[in-house]
Amino acid sequence: MKAAILILSDPKSGSDEALGRVFNALAAAYDFKQHGDEVTILFHGAGTRWIAEVANPEHPVYDLFEQVKEVVAGVSCGCADVFGATEEVEKSGFDLIKDNPIPGTSGLPSLQSLVAGGYTVLTF
């Protein structure tokens, strides 16, 4: 089984719903990983802002993120640009993914490639 988990929720919303979505995304990745399945995480859209948040040891999802961060494929480059997260992503060491060259952007991850590669895409 192969799963690609897209994190789209916006931490700047400050809502319980956004926190719940990132928590459940990371929990799903942990579940797949624990069962020996192939899993990858992509931060996309406003979700690119989570990189700065989840790296903070004081954040409620920090410990869970530490358990799954090795399966993070990266962060949408174009989305990080739009949502002001590029600098934090660069500091984090995660890759800025741009294999889908959308006109007018610096590129986004290719969801088509994931689906063609047999991944089920889950969005949070």
Q: For residues 23 and 19, what is the distance between their CA atoms, to the nearest angstrom? A: 6
**Pairwise CA distance, residues 98 & 100, whole Å:** 5
pTM, two decimals, is 0.94
Q: What are phi and psi of 61, to 5 degrees?
A: -100, 5
120: Cβ–Cβ under 8 A, 6 or more apart, which residues? Answer: 1, 2, 3, 4
Nearest to 98 by CA among 110, 86, 111, 107: 107
* Fold assignment, 2-123: Hypothetical Protein Ychn; Chain: A, (3.40.1260)
pLDDT tens digits for the chain (124 residues)? 999 999 999 999 989 999 999 999 999 999 999 999 999 999 999 999 999 999 999 999 999 999 999 999 999 999 999 999 999 999 999 999 999 999 999 999 999 999 999 999 999 9
Residue 85 CA: distances (Å) to CA of 28, 45, 78, 95: 24, 10, 10, 12
Structure tokens given for 66: 């530490």
Q: How is the chain split into domains, by residue range?
A: 2-123
